[in-house]
Amino acid sequence: MANFAEQFGQMQHDIGVIKIDQAVMMTRSEHFATRSELHEVKLDVQVLKTDVHNLKQDVNELKGDVRVLKVDVQELKVDVLALKTDMKQVKTELHEFKGTFDLFRTEVGKAFADAEIRTNDRFDALNSRITWTLLAPAILGIMAWFAKTALLAA
């Protein structure tokens, strides 16, 4: 009987431990997910993996685009430098043209002035010729007529 009492005491102790373990297991089981929840989580993880993969592809594409843009920027810098050089040449040529045009304008002005002087000289010569060839004889004729009329009438 002592053995029975000892076994009975041990059983009571084991039942107490089992009750404690059961309470602990119940508490833990409330925190465990069900199989359907695990399946949903796995699907969500798969979707996230796909999204991450797509994001990595997008990032790689963007890196490629950035490389292309960098090359384009370098080409644009070269083009801008070439344009600046061309603009300097155009400015130089425009300055030279302005000098040539000013010289041309001066020469044309002199040519017009010379032409005007020659034209004035020709008009003066024509005026002199008209005066001496037409007016002088006409005046002499009028004076002769006047003298004839005045002298004959007197």
Q: Kindly report the pTM of this predicted structure.
A: 0.43
Q: Is the pLDDT of residue 87 over 70?
A: yes
The predicted structure's pLDDT at residue 154: 63
The predicted structure's pLDDT at residue 21: 79
pLDDT band at residue 96 under the 50/70/90 scheme:
very high
CA distances from 60 to 10, 22, 67, 73, 74 (A): 68, 53, 11, 20, 21
Task: List, for residues 13-67, the tens digit of each pLDDT value.
Answer: 878 888 887 888 877 776 666 777 778 888 888 988 898 899 999 999 999 999 9
The predicted structure's pLDDT at residue 76: 96
CA distances from 24 to 15, 19, 29, 32 (A): 14, 9, 9, 13
User: What is the enclosing helix (H) or strand (E) of 49?
Assistant: helix 35-130
Domain boundaries in the chain?
39-105, 115-154
